[in-house]
Amino acid sequence: MAYLFTSESVSEGHPDKVADQISDALIDNFLAFDPESKVACETLVTTGQVILAGEVKSNTYLDVQQIAREVIRKIGYTKSEYMFEADSCGVLSAIHEQSADINQGVDRASKEEQGAGDQGMMFGYATNETENYMPLALDLSHALLIELANLRRENKEITYLRPDAKSQVTLEYSDDNKPQRIDAIVISTQHDDFAPEAEMLAKIKADLVGILIPRIKAKYPQYAHLFNDQITYHINPTGKFVIGGPHGDTGLTGRKIIVDTYGGKGAHGGGAFSGKDPSKVDRSAAYATRHIAKNLVAAGLCDEVLVQVSYAIGVAKPTSINVVTYGTSKVNMTDGEISKKVEEIFDMRPYFIEQRLKLRNPIYSETAAYGHMGRQPETVTKTFQLPNGEPKTVTVELFTWEKLDFVDKVKVAFGL
């Protein structure tokens, strides 16, 4: 019997994502000037206020207020009527030095023996139902909001959009787990107060169905066949959405971990990513397990896979590595046997993850909205600035965990 599956996404202007982006901008600035920085930074945003808190061990000093304001400005909170605006909001920093008790469990005389920054389990997932090996409902949810943000910045076809937005896509799957069609789309977007409510809502729905959806179908032709005349559209279903962003709802770092990963497919270990340097395995090992999962599926080992790893704080070697292929494996091996071989191919000690994926670079701001997984690897040049005006330009690789650079090794190891 056919079944429905749903995933959601949130825009860069959503309060929780504003907090994530500020936290990751701080990470990038610390790593740009001191690659060995240890950082765990949380951000809270509310009406007219940003509060930074966390622990840092670094040889550099930053103007954290200026960094936070630049992020807010880039997102689009630049008008006083939003009640949260880049130049006028207060920024309070309560960042202090990292606990020596935690640090002693991570740093080692031999870098190779670097311990995990915390205990816990992390998951990586991949499926061949999309070109980027991501769950389709989440991929579509992200795509809707990325294109909505493009329309907002262009300010031509739709001129009333504000930064805060959420999306949700429900897909119908066949008995053999193949996506058949889109059943429902939900979009709630913040907007200017430009007309009586009924007139506004009718205009917004007409624009999103008549302008946004055709742009999605044109930009992602591989998904066009999933759109149909029977889709149920819920556009701003609660009514007008003028009050939004941090003024409408307090935002906190790390509250959108399912949006950040797989939209409810696979599993999640519970640890957030943003605001954490790569010594925290919540982040680095989640990227490493995604790297493993994507390369396994791309190599043809299976159609779908979930990879779990777990750690004890201060210990380099994982306490477990487990691979689940959901019965889609193409080799005559049990999942347990596959797990053992995966452990031989990928060194999951924290130092080796950092080196393999080049994680001690300022690469995290780009991850903080529209998902950490399924993104396009690319090389970019970025410039950072110290409080004294001294700039530093670095060239870095983004989304290294999305590279298919282990496919050949997987094929050789499994005889594919």
Residue ranges for the binding site for Mg(2+)? 16
Pairwise CA distance, residues 279 & 99, whole Å: 14
Of the candidates 118, 119, 65, the one whose C-alpha atom is nearest the C-alpha of residue 90 is 65
Q: Are 1 and 172 in contact (CB under 8 A)?
A: no
Pairwise CA distance, residues 394 & 381, whole Å: 6
Residues at the annotated binding site for ATP? 14, 164-166, 240-241, 249, 255-256, 272, 276
* Separation in Å, CA 244 to CA 158, 189, 192, 366: 18, 9, 10, 23
What is the DSSP code (8-state) at residue 99? P
Q: Is 378 helix (H, G, I), strand (E, B) or coil?
A: strand
Residues at the annotated binding site? 14, 16, 42, 55, 98, 164-166, 240-241, 249, 255-256, 272, 276, 280
Residue 41 forms beta bridges with which residues? 54
Query: Phi and psi of 26, rounded to 5°?
Result: -65, -45
Of the candidates 204, 214, 198, the one whose C-alpha atom is nearest the C-alpha of residue 235 is 204
Of the candidates 127, 396, 121, the one whose C-alpha atom is nearest the C-alpha of residue 286 is 121
Torsion angle of C-alpha atoms 245, 249, 252, 253, degrees rounded to 10: -40
What is the CA angle 358-260-301, rounded to 5? Answer: 70
Query: Phi and psi of 90, rounded to 5°?
Result: -80, 145
Residues at the annotated binding site for L-methionine? 55, 98, 249, 280
What is the DSSP code (8-state) at residue 61? -
Residues at the annotated binding site for K(+)? 42
Q: How many CA atoms lie within 13 A of 129 on its CB side?
A: 25
Residue type for position 392: K
* Residue 249 backbone zone (phi > 0: left; psi -120 to 50: alpha; other: beta): beta
